[in-house]
Amino acid sequence: MPKYIDADALLAKMERRRFYVGRASDPICIIEDMPAADVIPLYHGCWIEQKETCRNGDKIYQCSVCGYADEHSPSTEVPFCWHCGARMDGKKENNGT
């Protein structure tokens, strides 16, 4: 099974090693030492239809999690928020697990 890591943490760790050692130590060892990034919370939300309609007939929907506005056809299923990544599965609560 793949191991997902935090790229920012990896780069920071590699920079620290370069600073102290003078070069990036064995990259394979650094990557293997990185903790898994599977603790990222998954948010659930829904698209809230707004009153405005676009000229092309699309509707404007707002993410219930972050408030991001998206334009799409009422018949188009948009399964996640492009801005915050929340899964649009109809649940209005935010689950941080």
Whether residues 58 and 30 fall in one domain: no
Tokens of 13: 């760790």
- The per-residue pLDDT for 52 is 84
Q: Is the pLDDT of residue 93 over 70?
A: no
7's enclosing H/E stretch is helix 7-21
- In this structure, is residue 94 part of a structural domain? no
- In this structure, is residue 30 part of a structural domain? yes
- In this structure, is residue 82 part of a structural domain? yes
Whether residues 27 and 52 fall in one domain: no
Whether residues 64 and 78 fall in one domain: yes
Strands 69-72 and 87-88 turn out to be: unpaired
Alpha helices in 22-89 (DSSP H): 27-33
Whether residues 53 and 33 fall in one domain: no
Structural domains in the chain (count): 2
For residue range 3-29, what is the model confidence (pLDDT) as tens digits?
677 777 777 777 766 555 544 566 767
Provide the residue count of the chain: 97
Whether residues 26 and 57 fall in one domain: no
The two most distant CA atoms of the chain are separated, in Å, by 60
For residue range 71-83, what is the model confidence (pLDDT) as tens digits?
988 888 899 888 8
Whether residues 61 and 80 fall in one domain: yes
Expressed as residue numbers, the domain containing 28 is 1-38
Question: Is pLDDT larger for residue 31 or for residue 73?
Answer: 73
- In this structure, is residue 60 part of a structural domain? yes
- Average pLDDT rounded to a whole number, residues 29-44: 69
- In this structure, is residue 9 part of a structural domain? yes
- The per-residue pLDDT for 57 is 86
